[in-house]
Amino acid sequence: MSQQEQWKSKIGFILATAGSAIGLGAIWKFPYVAGTGGGGAFFFLFLAFTLILGMPLLLGEFIIGRKGQSNPINTYSKLASNPKWSIIGKIGVFTSFILLSFYSVVGGWIILYIVQIVAGGLNGLDEGRYMQLFEEIISNPFATLIAQFVFILISILVVSKGIQKGIELASKIMMPALLILFIGLVIRSLSLDGAMEGVKFLLVPDFTKLTSESILFALGQSFFTLSLGVSVMVTYASYLPRTQNLPQSAISIIILNTIIALLAGLAIFPGVFSFDLEPNAGPVLIFAVLPAVFNQMPFGMFFFLAFLILFLFAALTSAFSMIEIIVASVTKNNPKKRKKSTWIIGILIFIVGIPSCLSYGMLADVQLFNRTFFDLMDFAVSNILMPLGALLIAIFVSQKVSKDVLFTELKSGSNIGRGFFSIWYILLKYVTPIAIIIVFLDVLGLFNWIIDVFK
Ligand code: PHE
C-alpha cells in the first residue's frame, strides 16, 4: 500500500475544502440562478436546502472519507465490504470530469477579462456596452479555447505538486484575500443610487415566484456550491488525521460559502437595478454588471483586476478538487503516478470541453434537448448527477455503515453528544433522500400527472 498524503494543518484543510466549495457556484452562478429563479424566495430556499440537506451530507462525506482513508472508489467498497458500492465513487469521478470540462470554459472567460483589463479595453465604457463586450469576448472561438486551456493548465501544474505544497498552500493565501476584497466591493455597490431595490430583490422573498424548476435549481445549487454528491469532500477528508473536528469544519465551510454567495448577490443586484439591467440576464450577469460598478469608483479598473484575479483563484481552487478526485482514483493514491496522470486527465478534460466552449460561438445554434451543449452539460451535472450522487451517498452512509462506527468517527476530534448525532442521522437517513426524491419526481411532472389522474 502506498502512503496516503495528509494535510499539514487544520486550517489548511478548512481553507482547501472551503476553496473547493467557493468558486463559480457562489460567485457567478448563484446570483444568476437567483435572478432567474425568483430572487429572495430562491435565496431562502437555497439557505434551507443548505442547512437541512447540505450540512448533513457534507458531514456524511467527511465521516466516510476520514474513516476510509483512501480514494473514493476504494472507500465505498472498503466500508461496505462489497465492491458494488464503488459505483458511488465512479459516478463522482465521471461527474467531476464532465463538470470540469465546462467549468473551465467559464474559468477561461475570467482569464480573458483579465487580459482585457490589462490591455485597457474595459475602461470607461457605458453600462450597456459591457453586455455587448461580454458577448463579443465569449463568442471568439480561438481566444476562448486558449483561455480554457490555460485554466486547465494552471490546475494541472498545482495538482501535480500534491496536497500540501500545491492545493493547501494556494488556498491559504487566496481565500482570505477574496473575502476582504468582496467586502470592499459590497460597500461600494450598496452606496449606488437605487441600491436598495437590489437588496430587496435578493432578500425579500416572494414565494409565488417559485416554480418546480426553480426549486430543482435551488437544490442543485446548494449541492453544487458545497461540492456535494461527487465525493470530492470524501477525498479531501481522506487526507485528514483523526484529530480534526469534523462538525466544526463542516459548519465553518458552510458559513464561509454562504457569506460569499450572499456577498456576491449584494455586490451584483444593487448594480443591476441601479443601471437598469435585467436580473434574469443569465450567465452574463457578473461579467456585465461588475465592470460597470467598478467603473464608477476611483481606481475602479485596478480593483476590478484584483477582484478578477481572486475570482480566478476561487474558480481554480474548485477546479483543483475536481482533478484531485480523479487523480486519487486513477493513481490509487500512489504519489509516483501523480504527475503523469494529472497531465493526461487534464488534457482529456480539455478535449471533452471543446464543444461546451464553442457553445457560445460557433455551436450556439446546435441544440440538444432544447439546450446548447454547455447548458446540457451543466444541467446534467448540477441538476441530475450531483443530486443523484448525493442521494446515493445519503443512503450509503445511513444504511451501509453501522451507527456505532459513524458515532465514533464523528466524535473523534470533537466533543459532540448523542443528541447532535441523532439529529444528523435522522436528517441524513430520512429527510435528505426523501427531499431529493420529491424534487426529482416533481420535475418529471409526476405530481401533475397524479393530480390529473385524480381529477
Ligand atoms: N463548489 C464548486 C463551486 O461552487 C463546484 C464544485 C462542484 C467543485 C463539485 C467540486 C465538486 O464552484
Q: For 317-355, how does the pLDDT look when each residue is reduced to its tens digit (9 = 90+)?
A: 899 889 989 998 888 877 788 889 999 999 999 999 999
Show Cβ contacts of residue 402 under 8 Å, excluding neighbours closer than 6 positions.
none
Q: Which helix (H) or strand (E) holds 8?
A: none
Helix/strand/coil for 320: helix
Q: What's the 202 CA to ligand 1 centre distance in angstroms? A: 22
Residue 300 and residue 188 in contact, taking contact as beta carbons nearer than 8 Å: no
Which residue out of 321, 324, 382, 388 has the highest number of ligand 1 atoms within 8 Å of its CB and is therefore the one to mutate? 321
Ligand 1 proximity of 93 Cβ (cutoff 6 Å): no
Ligand 1 proximity of 227 Cβ (cutoff 6 Å): yes
Shortest CA distance to 433 belongs to which of 208, 152, 229? 229
Whether residue 449 has pLDDT greater than 80: no
With DSSP H G I counted as helix, E B as strand and the rest as coil, what are the percentages for the chain, rounded to 5?
80, 0, 20
- Report the distance separating Cα 198 and Cα 204, nearest Å: 10
**Full DSSP string of 127-183:** HHHHHHHHHHHHT-HHHHHHHHHHHHHHHHHHHTT-IIIIIIHHHHHHHHHHHHHHH
pLDDT confidence tier of residue 395, bands split at 50, 70 and 90? very high
Q: What's the 346 CA to ligand 1 centre distance in angstroms? A: 17
Judged by average pLDDT, the poorest of 44-53, 107-116, 284-293, 406-415 is 284-293
pLDDT at 1: 39
Ligand 1 proximity of 155 Cβ (cutoff 6 Å): no
- Report the distance separating Cα 242 and Cα 410, nearest Å: 10
C-alpha grid cell for residue 201?
430583490
Q: What's the 453 CA to ligand 1 centre distance in angstroms? A: 40
pLDDT at 394: 96
Q: Any idea which residue has 469532500 for its cell?
A: 233
**What is the CATH T-level fold of the domain 10-454, as seen in this structure?**
Amino acid/polyamine transporter I (1.20.1740)
Whether residue 311 has pLDDT greater than 80: yes
Ligand 1 proximity of 261 Cβ (cutoff 6 Å): no
| Distances from the Cα of 330 to the Cα of 6, 200, 324, angstroms | 18, 48, 10
C-alpha grid cell for residue 192?
449606488
pLDDT confidence tier of residue 2, bands split at 50, 70 and 90? very low
Ligand 1 proximity of 217 Cβ (cutoff 6 Å): no
Ligand 1 proximity of 322 Cβ (cutoff 6 Å): yes
9: left (phi over 0), alpha (psi -120 to 50) or beta: beta
- Report the distance separating Cα 148 and Cα 360, nearest Å: 13
Handedness of CA 238, 239, 244, 245 (dihedral sign): negative
Whether residue 7 has pLDDT greater than 70: no
Shortest CA distance to 24 belongs to which of 129, 89, 108? 108
Whether residue 157 has pLDDT greater than 80: yes
Which residue out of 227, 253, 286, 329 has the highest number of ligand 1 atoms within 8 Å of its CB and is therefore the one to mutate? 227
- Report the distance separating Cα 455 and Cα 451, nearest Å: 6
Q: What's the 452 CA to ligand 1 centre distance in angstroms? A: 38
pLDDT at 451: 62
Ligand 1 proximity of 321 Cβ (cutoff 6 Å): yes
Show Cβ contacts of residue 156 under 8 Å, excluding neighbours closer than 6 positions.
323, 342, 343, 346
pLDDT at 226: 93
Q: HSE, CB side, 13 Å, CA atoms: give it for residue 101.
A: 28
pLDDT confidence tier of residue 165, bands split at 50, 70 and 90? low
